[in-house]
Amino acid sequence: MRGWIEAPLAAYLRPLLNRLRQRCAPTTFGKITDEDTWATLERARQDASMAPPRDFVLAQAPTLELDPRFELTGARLDALTQALAYHGILELRGTETRLRTHSPPSTPLTHGAIWTSLRHRDFSRAFAVFLWKVMHDGLKCGTYWDKIQGYEHRAQCGRCGLPETIQHILFDCEAVGQSLVWSIVGGIWKKKAPDAEWRALTPADFLSVGLKTWKDNKGRFRPGATRLWRIMISEAAHLIWKLRCERVIGHAEEDDWEHSQPLVWNKLQYVLNSRLAQDVESVRRKYGDSAIDRRLVLATWNRTLRDEPALPEDWTTWKGF
């Protein structure tokens, strides 16, 4: 149906099938079902993993060359879509992965998983665009200005004197903003999950925020805590970036201008309250299949609301809290 487009292990399966097609006799495959055969296979594995390993007669490695007479390529036209054809064209062109969009080797996540997480429904559209630009190195900060004559000084942080990378902006800058935001978020998280340890975030934590999951002491998935984590981290990081832009661009003519701490707290409170109000509205039945499960919203925000013991059990039906 799809041919070899996006087929896993295609580099090895194509030569194998090509070789099988060259046989003039039928080829059959067997499945191990009896215990004796499993025991024989297990003894062979143990022999191969012995230290020192036993002497085996190594078979000749199969060739990966393809005989064009027995090679079938292409996808069926009745199964071909525009997206599938586009991926097939990219494979034929052999497009190399951009170095700036390549995740570091220490990241235990696949590229596909990270890129798919950008479109997580728990993210606001503005943050999804921001995260996409971060992963594409498309923000006008840091090394971006090194290539523009006369503006090289903008590559340095005006507050710290260090290269103004996105990592510096979100986690290391000494200007009022990032450290205060993360400390407030950490305090909220300790109320939500007192048994979970709050630690300083890393760039890997930020890029994979859509894939992070939280579990309780018994290993059970906690959907409410996981969703609150995605909302808080995404909104906090985006707010820190907006604070930086307001300081560097909006007040570029004012030396040593910084936000006040009460202003930063109020901005963060406004952002989180807006997400809370959006969740309360999103549980309405009028949104049909697009509505969010009321139980998920309650599990997301419990233990974080002000005067929560005074609220009704289902506070999504009330307004103004």
Q: What is the pLDDT of residues 39-85, one digit of tens each?
A: 888 888 887 777 666 676 767 777 888 888 888 777 888 888 898 88
Strand partners for 156 = 163
pLDDT at 86 over 80: yes
pLDDT at 273 over 60: yes
Strand partners for 215 = 221
Half-sphere exposure (Cβ direction) of 208: Cα atoms closer than 13 Å:
18
Q: What is the three-class DSSP state of 6?
A: coil
Report the first-to-last Cα separation within the chain, whole angstroms: 55
For 9, list phi and psi in degrees, rounded to 5.
60, 30
Is the pLDDT higher at 243 or at 137?
243
Last residue of a domain, one of 93, 127, 159: 93
pLDDT at 190 over 60: yes
Last residue of a domain, one of 65, 93, 121: 93
The secondary structure of 212-257 as a DSSP string is ---B-TTS-B-HHHHHHHHHHHHHHHHHHHHHHHIIIIITTTSTT-
Tokens of 314: 């289902």
pLDDT at 120 over 70: yes
Tell whether 53 and 180 lie within a shared domain: no
pLDDT at 226 over 60: yes
| Confidence (pLDDT) at 90 | 81
Cα 312 to Cα 136: distance, rounded to the nearest angstrom: 45
Cα 18 to Cα 36: distance, rounded to the nearest angstrom: 32
Tell whether 260 and 309 lie within a shared domain: yes
- Residue 1 in domain: no
- Residue 223 in domain: yes
Last residue of a domain, one of 30, 63, 93: 93
| Confidence (pLDDT) at 61 | 74
What value does the mean pLDDT take over residues 107-112? Answer: 63
Tell whether 49 and 76 lie within a shared domain: yes
Tell whether 146 and 87 lie within a shared domain: no
- Residue 272 in domain: yes
What are the CA-CA distances from residue 299 to residues 228, 234, 244 (Å)?
9, 18, 32
Cβ–Cβ under 8 Å, residues 158 and 248: yes
Distance of CA 155 to the CA centre of its chain: 27
User: How many other β-carbons are positioned within 10 Å of the β-carbon of residue 24?
Assistant: 4
Domain coverage including residue 249: 111-317
| Confidence (pLDDT) at 3 | 83
Q: Could you give the number of structural domains in the chain? A: 2
- Residue 101 in domain: no
56-60, 186-190, 210-214, 283-287: segment of lowest average pLDDT: 56-60
Tell whether 169 and 60 lie within a shared domain: no
Q: What is the three-class DSSP state of 156?
A: strand
Q: What is the three-class DSSP state of 163?
A: strand
The secondary structure of 32-77 as a DSSP string is --SHHHHHHHHHHHHHHT-SSPPP--PPPPPP----GGG---S--G
What tens digit of pLDDT does each residue of 128-182 get? 999 999 988 889 999 899 989 998 989 999 889 999 999 999 999 999 999 999 9
What value does the mean pLDDT take over residues 207-224? Answer: 90
Cα 206 to Cα 18: distance, rounded to the nearest angstrom: 44
Tell whether 312 and 259 lie within a shared domain: yes
Cβ–Cβ under 8 Å, residues 189 and 198: yes
- Residue 290 in domain: yes
Report if pTM > 0.75: no
- Residue 106 in domain: no
Tokens of 173: 């800058």
Closest CA to 251 of 170, 148, 173, 159: 159
Tell whether 119 and 252 lie within a shared domain: yes
- Residue 225 in domain: yes
Tell whether 37 and 146 lie within a shared domain: no
Closest CA to 224 of 280, 284, 303: 303
Tell whether 160 and 291 lie within a shared domain: yes
pLDDT at 98 over 80: no
For 29, list phi and psi in degrees, rounded to 5.
-120, 140
Tell whether 174 and 277 lie within a shared domain: yes
What value does the mean pLDDT take over residues 106-121? Answer: 73
- Residue 242 in domain: yes
Tell whether 89 and 39 lie within a shared domain: yes
| Confidence (pLDDT) at 131 | 93
pLDDT at 105 over 50: no
Closest CA to 112 of 121, 101, 123: 101
18-32, 127-141, 167-181, 240-254: segment of lowest average pLDDT: 18-32
Tell whether 286 and 171 lie within a shared domain: yes
